[in-house]
Structure 1
């Protein structure tokens, strides 16, 4: 027994299966997952877009080419002295609205900006910022400028946004350091998996949808590739990870089915904002309703991975704690963990949507709309369907993955007498809600019948 204790300890902290996987069980899992992985690879090859399709730039909104620029100087001028016909009109950045009050007698900022990239690098232009504007500029500040080649020369460039590259990279670096410092090797693998997932999203999913492929099919193939890469890279090529993959896959299929049914039943078009309208205008062949469903599937994938991996790990650790426990006892104990997970995840999803849609909800509140009107408007109903369909899939993944893991780990241990020397089949595990001691009822039930035999063995010794 003592020779097995270090092995058990290393598995508990190394996030590996609690005992070696039987050859028969490996064959069963491989028979399910290898064809699935092969189908994903074939899907990637068939649907691979080879890059986003080219289109003629419209020069409007997000379709404008942009360049980097720097603020050379900021001069104070009297707003009343600014000649609108001689000065280029400023283009407010997204979300910036000029004030409605008069600027007579007030000082405006006359900003001189130098373009630093592109074919016109070195060109300077000026723009005027009123005191009521929500954004002001300082000397030396980096900005992003939009370029309109068909406009008059003095009006070809306008400030579209500030340059946030440096603080964003710093934040990303802090995130990476925190993940590696806490997660160590697994943190590094998690970052590599994150980069791989981002690569699949940008190199396959987005260009394939723009090429006109069915968004749902693209999302299923791309999401499956992300799932396989992320789970196996972060958690190892083990039976426990494979069970999490199967639970995630089954839950994604349920989300896809429910999403398809309720998007059609609720008559959701998916075209509820300016961004979607612009994408559809540039690429009319994109099926917007399919794009909505694809977004639901991809958005649910990350949380599903967390739930399925956690539940599978819980079952494996519970089995490690009591090798004699049967699948029913394992399922009952792990579901007590899963119910807490369900409550926290569902609350997280709802609050995340409420936080993201807070400005929209404020508008409805200002309009004094009743709850029914708000909830059934398409712009809100779309998000409600997205949230509820994803939540149903998450809730279903807990019992589904837990049951699958309990049955797999129990079947695996039956083939390994060395995994639990002296352990007997868990005949009493069929009773739902086993004792909190996790297996105490079974041990107590066998206690009396085993005492005589143990006494006899001690006498012989």
Structure 2
């Protein structure tokens, strides 16, 4: 299995390494210390979501449908009941009734699962409060474990097949992200900690682990880390200002309202800020890693570029990236809020009142703040990458030296170098051997195609 780390680029100079270590290591230590202080302890308040019913796996063996009995409407006229009606026979696979056949009513009502023979389902046993000896079985939902497992296998195989060792590292980073969210961020917020503080520390911890695990401990990755961390802090500040200016309370969704009923100690306003921070992290990682890699690639392709030229060229790439990513952010929020958007079409209020209502203003603030943080990440990361990359070359990438100003590259010569052969072979389309293409000195400076441009520590 190949890898793009077989022949790494020259390591960064000792001075650059010392500066990066002196900057990144204290930030990492501070993040770890903050995570340990905020880590939820035993005895944290638990949510009271009601009694947990035992759930059992089963397989549908028979479905019998029948006409629903008539019901009486409020006016006293008979009408048809909401269907479907009938019974379902299910073979239980675990629990006290394992191996037995039980009978349940056909699931009915909004969101009820539609079952057929051989479907894998989840069963619950309900006990009559007035008669504990009487119980009934009901189908709660389909059993989705097997198809989800196969989907995860295909997902992981595709990433590893395409990304090889880098893809395997990406899967490990994804697992680490979920581990931090499930063991630190969510329990910390549920324990009553400040959601904004927990989200910032958790996002920083995810950033350190994922970026270094996925892209290696390199100067290029360290630049992406610093750019991401700076953009995250700016996003948190902007989110705080925006939510305060628009007087958002965090009760803009039904989920938040339901959470406040079961766990009153959660700060929903802080939870809104935490959601903006966590939601922005993935896109920020993408932009900062891309900008750091772009600067490194440009410097290896043309070592004669100065810091300012590197910054300008990479920023042009960043503008194109931002233009597409902004649309990605808005569409991601719109896709997650389609029921909300459909509800707006049935609202009879004026459009101005709808746009300024909390449940829609909340989504507008999310998109706007995430986009502002994303835009700030481009110049910040690109500037840091240009400084670090230029400092790693002989002469430091300054615009002038003792021999005088650096000559500007000729566009025509650069284009000819790109399209001409690398050796001095005669042009096959020209009958005159004297018009052979001269050896290109510009293309000899391009790095080997198999060499990684990640600058090692």
> Do they fold alike, i.e. is TM over 0.5?
yes
Return 393-402 or 120-129, whichever deviates more.
Answer: 120-129
* 1:332 matched to 2:312: yes
**Shift of residue 374 of structure 1?**
2.4
* Offset from partner CA, 1:198-246 (integer Å, 9 cap, x none): 1011111111111111111111111111101110011110111000000
Compare relative contact order (CA 8 Å, sep 6+) and give the higher one, 1 or 2: 2
**Shift of residue 160 of structure 1?**
2.8
3-state SS of paired residue (1:73) = strand
Give the structure 1 partner of residue 345 of structure 2: 365
Change (3 A) 1:269 1:439: farther
By percentage of residues, which structure has more helix?
Answer: 1
Gaps of 5+ in 1: 1-9, 83-99, 418-422, 441-461
Match 2:57 to one of 68, 85, 89: 68
* Offset from partner CA, 1:377-425 (integer Å, 9 cap, x none): 11111111111101110111011111111111112214689xxxxx989
Change (3 A) 1:78 1:425: farther
Match 1:111 to one of 71, 88, 91: 88
* 1:23 matched to 2:14: yes
Match 1:213 to one of 193, 197, 207: 193
Give the structure 1 partner of residue 432 of structure 2: none
Measured on the aligned residues, the alpha-carbon RMSD in Å equals 3.4
Instruction: Decide whether the 8 Å contact of 1:319 with 1:330 is kept in 2.
Output: yes
CA distance in 2, matches of 1:57, 1:122: 33
Return 192-201 or 372-381, whichever deviates more.
Answer: 372-381
Give the structure 2 partner of residue 449 of structure 1: none
User: So what's the TM-score if we normalise by structure 2?
Assistant: 0.78
3-state SS of paired residue (2:66) = strand
Change (3 A) 1:214 1:115: farther
* 1:167 matched to 2:120: no
Q: How does 1:240-251 map to 2 (within 5 A)?
A: 240-251=220-231
Give the structure 1 partner of residue 163 of structure 2: 183
CA distance in 1, matches of 2:36, 2:109: 55
Match 2:37 to one of 20, 33, 46: 46
**Shift of residue 103 of structure 1?**
4.5
Instruction: Decide whether the 8 Å contact of 1:212 with 1:285 is kept in 2.
Output: yes
CA distance in 1, matches of 2:412, 2:356: 48
Give the structure 2 partner of residue 411 of structure 1: 391
**Shift of residue 21 of structure 1?**
0.4
Match 2:104 to one of 126, 131, 141: 126
Give the structure 2 partner of residue 262 of structure 1: 242
* Equivalences, count: 402
Gaps of 5+ in 2: 72-77, 416-457
Match 1:102 to one of 50, 69, 80: 80
Instruction: Decide whether the 8 Å contact of 2:38 with 2:188 is kept in 1.
Output: yes
User: So what's the TM-score if we normalise by structure 1?
Assistant: 0.78
Match 2:257 to one of 239, 254, 277: 277
* 1:33 matched to 2:56: no
3-state SS of paired residue (1:413) = coil
Instruction: Decide whether the 8 Å contact of 1:333 with 1:438 is kept in 2.
Output: no
